[in-house]
Structure 1
Amino acid sequence: MTGPAGLELDASALGGFCRWLRKNRDLDVSDYGELHRWSVTDLSGFWSAVQQYLDVPFRTAYREVLAEERMPGARWFPGVRTNYADGLLTDGDPQEPALITVREDGSTEALTTGEFRRRVAALARSLTSLGVGVGDRVVGYLPNVGESAVAFYAAASIGAVWASVGSDYGPDAAAARLGQLTPKVLIAVDGYRYAGVDRDCGPAVATLREAIGPAHTVIVPRLGSTVAPDCLDWRELTVGEATLEPVAVPFDHPLWVLFSSGTTGIPKGIVHSHGGVQLEMYKTLRLQWDLGTGSRLLWATSPSWVIWTLLVSAPLVGATAVLYDGSPTFPDTAGLWRAASAHRVTHFGTSPGFLAACERSGVLPGRLCDLSALRQIIATGSPVPPSANGWVSAHVGEQVPLVAISGGTDVVGAFVGGAPTVPVVPGEISAPCLGVKVEAWDPQGRALVNEVGELVVTRPMPSMPVALWGDESGERYRQAYFDTYPGTWRHGDWITVTDRNSVVIHGRSDATLNRNGVRMGSADIYAAVEELPEVHEALVIGAELPDGGYWMPLFVALRDGVELDDGLRDRIRRAIRRQASPRHVPDEIVAVPAIPHTKTGKKLEVPLKRILLGAEPGAVVAPAAVDAPEALDFFVRLAERRSARA
């Protein structure tokens, strides 16, 4: 266990919040646990305090915070009008950078807060002249660059609805998402560089235009590729003096549509509100992460992923967003650390996979570069193994905590994470986030402590979706989250809530390993197996067979030059038996060329399980939604061989 995450209570925004509560609400909280209990007991008191203390910019006063407490359908701050882009006007020195784009080759482009506002205002003016109004859709096909953030804020400022996917998506996968929205404007890049290779997006953009039929296409020039003569030039739409004047919209007005991974069927379009996301972002960035004026948040991410929305929201609280455009591991894993050093990054966002890659490659960030500004590493995307904390402490800095968080696109934020005053325990997530009533439930809806259960949220959050796109009746929304426990949000993760109120994530509940009645999450298996130096990555499934049997294979992608022999199989079994469970030693261990993931890095456990049980591959997974579609081939062939033997 390590101490509070780099800051004393009195020096953090969280500490300031506690003092404010004492003075203005006559509420005396002595620790984070007490604060959290109040935050989920008095929802109206907590969220009104967040709005007032953090000065979340509402245009109108409110008489009521939570008019109807129900899930789905909670009504927050009725009558309030606001705009997400208002936050760009309330904080930040105009001369300080709001955004810094860092490319693989180390070149950078910085936008001061003043220039950022001007470009957002200029593009908003141009979009309006193109006929875009309140409720119309503006979509992006862009990498993690400053133009993406400008486009989002410009759309939001005029009340349009934003949606984006990364330019690494193929045109079919992009169209499956953006085409649902019948957008008026598509903003796309003509190309980008990734892993040292220039990638021409011209043909993909042309195909995407034809598929989704926008009235206008705006091209952000990168490689000089030609898409079509009728495309508009980004540079021409963002020149000239302009003043940012966001349009006031209702609290629950749609801000953006974020998409599920879409590995099966049409990707789910999740609609969030201006007001709900504002509150969640201010709370997360200020109180949970302690970002503020002078802070710098770096993340190598994509506009396809919910993390991108957190990254580009940093300027709302006066912080700088450092957007890394390129591969985090090219030409080596040291590039991100060099960027963190060069730009005095205070908050380094990453994934457990990247940290593991750094450890395997032997990079020593603390020796390689000056990371004295770094106050926190935030990791998400998959469970963080305990070994990662030791590596960070030894090779990044003893004073730098590794804070694990877990949440979802569905609520555009985290359910559980860290806070400046909460200790970090390796292998666990420190605490539930403020305002989030997280519990682990058994199938009968009983709360569990120190036992594995379903992650549920028992009271509403302002950032829960206002709708799913195209779901006029709300039936799909109810089925997605509220069918299992009516009136309670079921997220689909297995978790343990400890008696210390920390949380352990065990993986998706629909990928649970149920061996002889004993349940275990796949993440526990991966934590044991992926520590072995010979194993690059692993994937495990538990398949219920028609004859009543249970088949639990483990698939391993090995490092270059490593063969799966009996000795390695034995070491893998011993690691699982010792570190996870003797009841969950796999029936067989199979070497595979690669493990397939969604575009956001999640292993395809459930689709592969269904394929291996005989489902038609095309019915359970869309190749366009997979990071390496060719990695599916091994599993399809294995399923065919099993079927032939049966």
Structure 2
Amino acid sequence: MIEQPSVVDSTILWQPNDTWINESNLKKFADKVGLSVQPYDRLHRWSIADPGAFWCHVWDFAQLVGEKGEVTYIPAKDGGMLGAKWFPEARLNLAENLLRGDGLRTVVYEATEHGVTRRVTLDDLRNLVAKAQTGLRALGVGQGDRVAGVTTNGVEGLVALLATSSLGAVFSSCSPDFGAKGIIDRIGQVQPKVFIASVNYVYNGKSFDITENIAAVCNELNSLNAIVTLSEAVELTQAKATGAKQLTWAELTKNDADEPTFTRMPFNSPQYILYTSGTTGLPKAIVHSVGGTLLQHVKEHQLHCDLKKGDVLSWYTNTAWMMYPWLVSGLASGAGILLYDGSPIPKDRVGILFDIAEEIGISHFGTSPKYLATLQKYGYQIGQKHQLPALRSVLSCGAPLMDEQYDWMYQTIKQDLFLASISGGTEIIGCFVMGSPVHPVRRGEISCKALGMAVDIVDERGASVIGKKGDLVCTEPFPSMPLTFWGHGGDERYFNAYFAERDGIWTHGDLAKQTINGSLVIYGRTDTTLNPGGVRIGTAEIYRVVEQIPEVKDSIVFGFPIENDEEIVLCVVTDNGQLDQAVAEQIRLDVRKKASPRHVPRRIFVVKEIPYTNNGKKVEGAARSTVRGEEVKNKASLANPQCLAEYARLSERSYF
């Protein structure tokens, strides 16, 4: 018999060896529940078929502190997703779980564009939280009260979050780089009792004074007992009408407290209020529970990201994005975290984030496709410039990770690397699909459905499909579902956002595909999906090709209606603000070849800027609405709304 040659799967870029698998948290978890870690699909099916047992085991595996109770899960009376109850007898506190462990270990690294500026041990952090807790309690903060922060990503902002949580209060945050209206549109909805604010920040070497913005925000907050500024005392003249006490962070924390106390709350007590960054009306103020947040995060960190005690987790984020509380929860797994404030690529130190990773031994490096694409265009060779022996995993979210970026990372960082593209949202303060330490990494694919998440891809009939594009849905309840949307009619608005399209099924709004390997591909948001000739096309499919063209620095694509169809419009940013006809034809040729003829842009324009949200996401909808002459209702969500003026005149210009 002639032995047949083995077939090599060229899509696999990394395969965990036996040591990786056997030492993984996921393998240890599977052993504890009496199941094999492979095949993973069987473990996943159990996690959604018996959700009470699964999430109870997650609580035990993560050794959460609190009273769990005897009952784990009560299904909704109608068998749907809304109305299910999790751990109805439990009482716990987020801060208590984040502040436990060896007090001598370093748990927080603070850094700026100049590098690491501060290292904080757990004992020091507990002491700082105790003082802030005492100060907040003196200002009248208690269970269920809201504390809002507009803070830089530093130690004081973290302490404010933890002190708020320790009291059983609700924390909501925004980033200082939002304008006054953007902050008011968010924080103004929840009317906090205490407002904690940075009055200045530095980005890309430039200092920004936002005292006037903060004063304007305070003037809209009728609920305030106090305004706390993180730096020196400033005169918030516009805020005087509120009658709120004004004090500095130093004054708030000037007391003798050295150990925090913790108010344990029911599992479904509000913990965070987060905001979407859409451009159609006020941002949705999404209320998340203390128990659902903590349980979801320890599951994702420990089982999917393989985060262990002593590891160091980083994620480039501001305090407005859901990845901020996700990062902070890394403390619950015994890991240290990096708080970085500044530009990810400052003009005089392109590799700052990897400089820091090398210095403090980051094990899990969280980033975005945009950041990686920028480094790639700079020609920055990470592995040649940095020694990164501690780095085990690179995690990416915020947009689909392109096929070529998978290749580039393995070529430029290191070969033995657990690379995971993850995807979920603010709405669930976590992920639907993730990587895992027991899965191979396949080019352009997200490795698996997250445990405990009944994810499926369905077509217009509602039928599950494999190998075809469809809507990403979730069909069973999970603990980190929102409690409600804050404000009048919150339950109804929540239902309309995720359950109106398919009764009893969460429709997330992503266009995706599941493969025969159990992996998934995300093509973009369904509200920006292109539909030329009636065929649904994800914008990520075009970006994947266009952004490999050397002359293209950035791009955005959207559909423009024409007769009973639509044509694809592509806008590109180039170094010199110009585009040769030859390059335009190369773009069309590459898109036709690497995507399909239907993906080929009908019109190509050169623009100066691409509209982004403050959280760094492209806003195709804002560009499309502007070109169509429609109002963009929530420009305050954009980091650079002024760039839309160019799109308003796009139809008057010549194109390629």
TM-score (normalised: structure 2): 0.93
Asked whether the 8 Å contact 1:557–1:591 carries over to 2, the reply is: yes
Measure how far apart 1:286 and its partner are.
Answer: 0.8
SS at match of 1:241: coil
SS at match of 2:271: strand
Q: How many residues align structurally?
A: 630
Matched AA of 1:99 = V
Equivalent of 2:258, from 224, 242, 262? 242
> 2:411 aligns to what?
394
> 2:322 aligns to what?
306
Asked whether the 8 Å contact 1:4–1:420 carries over to 2, the reply is: no
Q: 1:522 to 1:250 in 2, by over 3 A?
A: same
Distance of 2:330 and 2:523 partners within structure 1: 30
> 1:10 aligns to what?
22
**1:202 and 2:218 matched:** no
**1:623 and 2:640 matched:** no
Equivalent of 1:49, from 44, 51, 57? 57
**1:491 and 2:508 matched:** yes
> 1:164 aligns to what?
173
**1:412 and 2:429 matched:** yes
> 2:148 aligns to what?
139
- After superposition, the CA RMSD in angstroms is 1.7
Deviations 1:609-631 (A, max 9, x none): 2332332x2xx332221111111
Distance of 1:426 and 1:44 partners within structure 2: 34
Asked whether the 8 Å contact 2:27–2:37 carries over to 1, the reply is: no
- Write out aligned runs for 1:152-301 (5 A): 152-213=161-222, 214-221=224-231, 226-227=235-236, 231-239=246-254, 240-301=256-317
SS at match of 1:538: strand
Asked whether the 8 Å contact 2:571–2:604 carries over to 1, the reply is: yes
SS at match of 1:536: strand
Distance of 1:106 and 1:226 partners within structure 2: 31
Distance of 2:648 and 2:327 partners within structure 1: 37
Equivalent of 1:80, from 90, 106, 115? 90
> 1:571 aligns to what?
586
Deviations 1:481-507 (A, max 9, x none): 001111000010100011111000000
Measure how far apart 1:226 and its partner are.
Answer: 5.0
Asked whether the 8 Å contact 1:172–1:624 carries over to 2, the reply is: yes
Asked whether the 8 Å contact 2:99–2:331 carries over to 1, the reply is: no
Matched AA of 1:62 = E
Distance of 2:510 and 2:72 partners within structure 1: 33
Matched AA of 1:278 = L
SS at match of 1:490: strand
Distance of 1:148 and 1:106 partners within structure 2: 19
Asked whether the 8 Å contact 1:190–1:227 carries over to 2, the reply is: no
> 1:601 aligns to what?
616
Equivalent of 2:540, from 523, 533, 541? 523
SS at match of 1:313: helix
Matched AA of 1:627 = A
- Write out aligned runs for 1:581-596 (5 A): 581-596=596-611
Q: 1:103 to 1:289 in 2, by over 3 A?
A: same
Matched AA of 1:292 = K
Measure how far apart 1:225 and its partner are.
Answer: 5.5
- Write out aligned runs for 1:367-516 (5 A): 367-472=384-489, 474-516=491-533
**1:98 and 2:110 matched:** no
Equivalent of 2:335, from 309, 315, 319? 319
* More divergent stretch after superposition (527-536 vs 37-46): 37-46
Measure how far apart 1:255 and its partner are.
Answer: 0.3
**1:120 and 2:129 matched:** yes
Distance of 1:95 and 1:413 partners within structure 2: 30
Distance of 1:606 and 1:568 partners within structure 2: 26
Distance of 1:369 and 1:224 partners within structure 2: 41
Asked whether the 8 Å contact 1:471–1:477 carries over to 2, the reply is: no
SS at match of 1:100: strand
Distance of 2:103 and 2:207 partners within structure 1: 34
Distance of 2:41 and 2:116 partners within structure 1: 44
Identity of aligned residues (%): 37
TM-score (normalised: structure 1): 0.94
Asked whether the 8 Å contact 1:393–1:401 carries over to 2, the reply is: no
Measure how far apart 1:470 and its partner are.
Answer: 0.9
Measure how far apart 1:634 and its partner are.
Answer: 1.0
Asked whether the 8 Å contact 1:2–1:425 carries over to 2, the reply is: yes
**1:532 and 2:549 matched:** yes
Distance of 1:359 and 1:60 partners within structure 2: 47
Matched AA of 1:350 = T
* More divergent stretch after superposition (573-582 vs 197-206): 197-206
Distance of 1:5 and 1:407 partners within structure 2: 24
Asked whether the 8 Å contact 2:532–2:565 carries over to 1, the reply is: no
> 1:614 aligns to what?
629
Which structure 2 residue ranges, 5 or more long, are not aligned? 1-11
Which structure 1 residue ranges, 5 or more long, are not aligned? none
SS at match of 1:611: helix
Distance of 2:68 and 2:381 partners within structure 1: 51
Equivalent of 2:118, from 90, 109, 114? 109
Measure how far apart 1:79 and its partner are.
Answer: 2.0
Measure how far apart 1:203 and its partner are.
Answer: 1.7
Measure how far apart 1:605 and its partner are.
Answer: 1.3
Asked whether the 8 Å contact 1:5–1:419 carries over to 2, the reply is: no
Equivalent of 1:61, from 69, 73, 77? 69
